Structure 1
Amino acid sequence: MKKLLLLAAALLSPAFATPAARAQAPSPVDDLARARAVVEDLMRIPNPEGVQETYTARIGGIDQWISIRGQDRANPVVLFVHGGPATPTIPSLWQFQRPLEEYFTMVNYDQRGAGKTFREDHSDAVAGTIRIQTYVDDLVAIAEHVRAKLGQDKLVLMAHSWGTIPAMHAALARPDLFHAYVGIGQAINVRDNERISIEYGLAEAKRRGNDAAVREIEAILPYPGDAPITRERIVAARKWPQHYGGMAAFRDETNLWFFGAARLSPDYDAQDRAALNEGSLFTLGRLLDEYVQVDFKPVREFPIPVLMFMGRHDYTTPSGPTAEWLDRVQAPYKRGVWFERSAHMAPWEEPGKLLVSLLEYVRPLAVDGDAPR
């Protein structure tokens, strides 16, 4: 057996390749293109019963980019609302979504002012529409579009981080469109989140003896306080909580693996990648005043089944307020699921737990209409 393995390795070596194959060996210049081609081929859905489409649809007066992927059109549909603002999920789908597509038809879209949709239209006219209610209206319109396109009466609504804000409003306004709501990195009260986050960062800095970090944090206290919460203050306040694992558990850096995902995405070219940062700058300042006033604590009744997938170590949108809200709210069905090895990025940090949780708790609601035990 050992000899057979050695022979196989030798035959697969470039030294034993045909002249034509050796001539096609990659140079450093096209290594990235070949890597993208590998991801593209891996993500391809050849099943004739499946669906794989990336296209624009006219939503809210502009063209918005939509991705629909799944191995079987008959599967329940999950409409995923990305975070940010303006941090699309489409460029990183290849990192976690492929297994979900065997049991669900997964729908993602680049929101107004984000990614490929930002490239389509970032005119002054669009800038004037950057308000939370516009994102809610867009989401409702996309839900209507998707259920008509796929021939399904209802969808599962799943959202992450910033996306939980328009998604919660959409679920409350149009419960007829959705089987259930799944919040990940849920925002309940933004000002509470900011306070809890910086308290965690300060406590960790003191525990680890990082005097420089302590001084840096204390220099911006009280936070959020009574002063306006500006983009600059948010960036400064989140630096150390995220460094100490509040964004991705047990990691002090997310830029490479998450924000670098678009470099290998078959759906994003160089101009699309440039639009990621441009879209963030385009949207955040215009949404900030409304964003910091978000408060779902007064919501005591929820019209559809509600599930919260909570990162145990999340100090970007801390999970404590979400768990407390879930305990109080009345709903046809509710469940909290703790992701013990995750912070804010649970779908990427624990993709297996995400799949199992969706299969165990969410798919029955969409397929049978029955609440799982």
Structure 2
Amino acid sequence: MKLKLLLFLFLSVLAGQLAAQTNSINEEKFIPIGGIEQWVTISGADKTKPVILFLHGGPGSTMSQYDDAIYGTWKKEFVLVYWDQRGAGRTFGRNAPEPVTEEYWIEHPLTVERMVADGIELTEYLVKHLGKQKITLVGTSWGSVLGASMALKRPDLFSAYIGHSQVVNGEEGFLHAFNTVSKLAQAAKDEESLTKLASLGPPPYGDARKSGQLMRIIKKYERQNATPAPATWWKLASAYDNEKDAQHRYDGDDYSFLYFAGHKALGITSMEAAVNFMRDGLHYKIPVYFIQGEEDILTAKELTKAYFDKVKAPKKEFVLVPKAAHGHNQAVVEAQYKAVKKSLNLR
């Protein structure tokens, strides 16, 4: 009798394990999006769970290469989708020539409209492929430009939009950041930064190199008062830890930033300069959550809160995260998790 009971328990556990394996999903592949092949990963312990599409920042700062240290525990409750956007990571490597030339940059422009269309096309694929009615959208920094635009344009595809380090007005935000670090550098008697800021002058620049130099000063001052993310978060997964993928990420980051910041010498128009959600992004038809680092200088809390106050949505929430700057840390990820759960009415 005891032997039969043990056998029954063993078979029950085995059946449960096999069912879990059957329900799990782990796909990594190129998908035709917007006329080119783009790299997408889909993973989760149970493919019947809600789907989250992450939109990375940068614009070239892909997430697919990291070893699940940031959001890996979420796979028990959600299906996670990472997308190397047009011009970034493996998507860039799949479509760019070797070596990459200035002619390629100029002849293959990046625009907000094109990338928003890519994101919507990807979402339509995910809804059909995974058998969902809607998915949850999480955008960070540059990804918040795409995320807000996608949510505003096609609310029927999304259950909620969660914007982290939300970009509101590209040019105003960059000028605000310049003024902030100028005051901080003066207070700190930081002569090196003050000299560089004086040589740059206030934005906009029309020169991606100047934008990059200002970004470095902004990051320097953000780091002073913010809790960093654990270094283990940025460990590369073994499949991406190679020279070819590293080169594609590096080249894609350069290409994407040129179009983000603009570079008049090459006739490249800034994508950032066209962003103004205060003007054309105030009415959402889905719940909206903004996760805002209190020490964020690049997308400052004053500008994000002013935008949030004017936003009309079925439900909205503004979460100010202490000791967080523009990027991710543990507190930011926890705030994102809570927002996702709230948006889906999960406990």
Q: TM-score range by the shorter chain?
A: 0.7 to 0.9
Among 277, 293, 304, the alignment partner of 1:296 is: 277
1:180 equivalent in structure 2? 160
Distance in 1 (alpha carbons) for counterparts of 2:93 and 2:225: 29
Distance in 1 (alpha carbons) for counterparts of 2:238 and 2:320: 29
CA 1:276/1:184 → structure 2, altered by over 3 Å: closer, same or farther?
same
Deviations 1:179-220 (A, max 9, x none): 010111111011121112122222222222222222221222
User: Which amino acid in the other structure matches residue 111 of structure 1?
Assistant: Q
1:138 equivalent in structure 2? 118
1:335 equivalent in structure 2? 317
1:249 shift after superposition: 2.0
1:37 equivalent in structure 2? none
Distance in 1 (alpha carbons) for counterparts of 2:273 and 2:225: 23
Distance in 2 (alpha carbons) for counterparts of 1:93 and 1:192: 36
Greater shift after overlay, 237-246 or 163-172? 237-246
Count of matched residue pairs = 313
User: Which amino acid in the other structure matches residue 333 of structure 2?
Assistant: L
2:265 equivalent in structure 1? none
Partners of 1:231 and 1:285 within 8 A in 2: yes
Distance in 1 (alpha carbons) for counterparts of 2:192 and 2:255: 32
The aligned runs of 1:300-311 (5 Å cut-off) are 300-311=282-293
CA 1:93/1:63 → structure 2, altered by over 3 Å: closer, same or farther?
same
The aligned runs of 1:84-233 (5 Å cut-off) are 84-92=58-66, 94-122=68-96, 124=104, 127-221=107-201, 223-224=202-203, 228-233=205-210
User: Which amino acid in the other structure matches residue 245 of structure 2?
Assistant: D
1:141 shift after superposition: 0.6
Distance in 2 (alpha carbons) for counterparts of 1:242 and 1:145: 36
Distance in 1 (alpha carbons) for counterparts of 2:105 and 2:292: 37
CA RMSD of aligned residues (A): 2.6
Distance in 2 (alpha carbons) for counterparts of 1:60 and 1:156: 21
Distance in 2 (alpha carbons) for counterparts of 1:140 and 1:248: 37
1:125 shift after superposition: 9.7
Partners of 2:162 and 2:336 within 8 A in 1: no
User: Which amino acid in the other structure matches residue 150 of structure 1?
Assistant: L
Distance in 1 (alpha carbons) for counterparts of 2:105 and 2:193: 42
Distance in 2 (alpha carbons) for counterparts of 1:95 and 1:199: 35
Deviations 1:237-280 (A, max 9, x none): 222221122598256xx9x949x936455445321111111012
Distance in 1 (alpha carbons) for counterparts of 2:107 and 2:75: 34
Deviations 1:108-127 (A, max 9, x none): 11011111111110254995
Partners of 2:31 and 2:38 within 8 A in 1: yes
Q: Give the alignment's TM-score, normalised by structure 2.
A: 0.82
CA 1:263/1:354 → structure 2, altered by over 3 Å: closer, same or farther?
closer
CA 1:312/1:50 → structure 2, altered by over 3 Å: closer, same or farther?
same
Among 237, 246, 269, the alignment partner of 1:273 is: 246
User: Which amino acid in the other structure matches residue 233 of structure 1?
Assistant: K
CA 1:93/1:186 → structure 2, altered by over 3 Å: closer, same or farther?
farther
The yes-or-no answer on 1:366 pairing with 2:347 is: no
Partners of 1:92 and 1:265 within 8 A in 2: no
* Residue ranges of structure 2 left out of the alignment (5+ in a row): 1-19, 98-103, 263-269
Deviations 1:297-354 (A, max 9, x none): 12331121111011111112223211111111111000011121211112xx12x552
Distance in 1 (alpha carbons) for counterparts of 2:247 and 2:24: 31
1:365 shift after superposition: 3.0
User: Which amino acid in the other structure matches residue 88 of structure 1?
Assistant: T
Deviations 1:107-149 (A, max 9, x none): 0110111111111102549952522111011100100111111
Greater shift after overlay, 260-269 or 207-216? 260-269
User: Which amino acid in the other structure matches residue 295 of structure 1?
Assistant: N
2:16 equivalent in structure 1? none
Identity %: 24
Partners of 2:109 and 2:259 within 8 A in 1: no
User: Which amino acid in the other structure matches residue 69 of structure 1?
Assistant: S
Partners of 2:225 and 2:323 within 8 A in 1: no
Distance in 2 (alpha carbons) for counterparts of 1:77 and 1:268: 27
Q: Secondary structure at the match of 1:119?
A: helix
CA 1:93/1:331 → structure 2, altered by over 3 Å: closer, same or farther?
farther
1:354 equivalent in structure 2? 333
Partners of 2:291 and 2:332 within 8 A in 1: no
Q: Secondary structure at the match of 1:91?
A: coil
